[in-house]
Amino acid sequence: MARIIAVCISKDKGTRKEDVRAGLLKEEFGLAGDAHADCCTHRQVSLLAIESIERMRSMGFDIGPGDFAENLTTEGINLVALPVGTRLTVGQGVVLEVTQIGKQCHTGCAIFRLIGKCVMPKEGVFARVIRGGSVKAGDELKIR
């Protein structure tokens, strides 16, 4: 079963996010309280697999959920293999639509400054919130 491991927010862009364990995903906006939430973008929510984070840990880096500025840390789903347009259901009916795989990394982000590497350019996934609702660590994640 694929699931959410962490729900992370930050007040400022370009910084690590804090795992707050639960949050509210607002339709066509993003994660309430997060600096990246915006009604006018296709990158309302970011996702990163714990498996990607664990690969970085195996190289000796002390990192965890939220350190790559992702909103939702997932487990058990190959995010980067999902085609753009794929819809995901989270928990009790939240619906996300994959809009972008990877991103151009800027050298000013906190994790890049700290360790000189970042997995978001190739392994980060971005989505729009199609149907909002609460999300929490432990919620099941399904491909629709």
> What CATH number has the domain bearing residue 7?
2.40.33.20
Q: Write out the two tokens for 68.
A: 């790559």
- Please report the beta strands in 51-124, taking only residues with DSSP state E, as ranges in sequence order: 72-75, 87-90, 94-101
Q: Alpha-carbon distance 16 to 12, whole Å?
A: 9
Dihedral pair phi/psi, residue 47, rounded to 5°:
-130, 145
pLDDT tens string 70-122: 999 999 999 999 999 999 999 999 999 999 998 666 555 666 666 666 666 67
pLDDT tens string 46-66: 999 999 999 888 888 888 999
Q: Write out the two tokens for 82.
A: 């999902």
Q: Write out the two tokens for 144.
A: 């629709």
Helix (H) or strand (E) holding 138: none
Query: Exposure string (b/e) for 98-125, b if CB count within 10 Å is 16 or more?
Result: bbebeeebeeebbbbeeeeebbbeebbb
- Give the residue numbers spanning the domain of 99: 3-143
Please choose, from the candidates 117, 97, 99, the residue with its C-alpha nearest in 3D space to the C-alpha of residue 109.
Answer: 117
Tally of domains in the chain: 1
pLDDT tens string 110-139: 666 666 666 666 788 999 999 999 999 999
Q: Which residues pair with 94 in a beta bridge?
A: 90
